[in-house]
Amino acid sequence: MDYRQLFRLDDRVALVAGGASGIGAAAARALGAHGARVVVADLNLDGARAVAAAIQQDGGRAEAKPVDVTDPASAADVVDRVVARWGALDVAVVTPGINVRKPLLRYTDEEFDRVVLVNLKGNFRVMRAAGAAMAPRGRGSIIVLSSIRALVVEPGQGVYAATKAGLLQLVRALAAELGPQGVRVNAVAPGVVETPLTQPIKAHPEWYRAYATKPALGRWASPDEIAGPIVFLASDAASYVTGSLLLVDGGWTAVDGRFSPPL
């Protein structure tokens, strides 16, 4: 065992769905820095191209492709194109997500359908296509972005939380189904991360500060701090890790609802 190579991804092909911004962009750049050939896929093709260019400027290999997870054929198409171009798919990172913050009694059917379509069904489409490409080769790693909201909820995030919990169960089921073929499937559960999805919170300083007090570390995370765990799950360092939920929440769930008494 050459422990120095555990985290290396040299010549592996990695697809990052939702790679134009936020955690997806950070993951794409980190995978590229560890030697992977990265396909940055996003509905925002200009943003995906910018991330691919940044990877290239850092000495890595990357290209951008469009993907729309709300389109039934798009996820399968982008995976097919990756395999046709590179001959394989070794890593798939699945990040697309939206949120409508609203009490459940005020949620419309259209809002419910939109959040579920992107967060659950859209992510499932990428997972399904990636798994189908990896299973015949007997190896691969699928990494799905869940959330602490798969475990703990708050008012206004019921539908979002339901989709993140649903993703966790899809991850576990796919891990069980593809384990015999050597394909690993895991979920990452970030806490509060400064991304475009959480940008509205920054417009409310009191809300932003309140979230910063919840984790044990007492602050928000940057997208780069979620990239390392994704590289770990993509690499041989996690060769015996599958069906897991990796919490990357600064200790939020460990101390959620805490009260610090005057000791």
pLDDT tens by residue, 96-126: 999 999 999 999 999 999 999 999 999 999 9
In a domain, 40, yes or no: yes
In a domain, 245, yes or no: no
Structural domain of residue 152, as residue ranges? Answer: 3-239
pLDDT average, residue stretch 65-94 = 97
- The verdict on residue 254 lying in a domain is no
- The pLDDT of residue 32 is 98
**Among candidate residues 222, 203, 218, 204, the one with its CA nearest the CA of residue 258:** 218
Verify whether residue 208 is a known catalytic residue.
no
**Does the pLDDT of residue 258 top 80, yes or no?**
no
248 φ, ψ to 5°? -130, 70
Identify whether 65 is part of a domain: yes
- Residues 89-126: b if buried by 16+ CB within 10 A, e if exposed: bbbbbbbbbebbebeeeeeeeeebeebbebbbebbbbb
> How many domains is the chain partitioned into structurally?
1
Whether residue 151 is contained in a domain is answered as yes
**126 domain residue, yes or no:** yes
Is pLDDT at 257 greater than 80 in this prediction?
A: no
pTM of the model: 0.95
Which pLDDT value is given to residue 194? 87
250: in domain: no
Report residue 211's pLDDT band, with 50, 70 and 90 as the boundaries.
Answer: confident
pLDDT of residue 198: 75
Residues 13 and 88: beta-carbon distance below 8 Å: yes
At 147-201, the pLDDT tens digits run 999 999 989 999 999 999 999 999 999 999 999 999 999 999 999 898 877 777 8
- Does residue 78 form part of some domain? yes
Instruction: Specify the CATH number for the domain of residue 202.
Output: 3.40.50.720
| Distance in angstroms (rounded) separating the CA atoms of residues 195 and 69 | 19
Name the nearest CA neighbour of 27 among 16, 11, 13, 37. Answer: 16
Please determine, for residue 45, whether its predicted confidence score (pLDDT) is greater than 80.
Answer: yes
Determine which one of 160, 208, 211, 240 is catalytic: 160
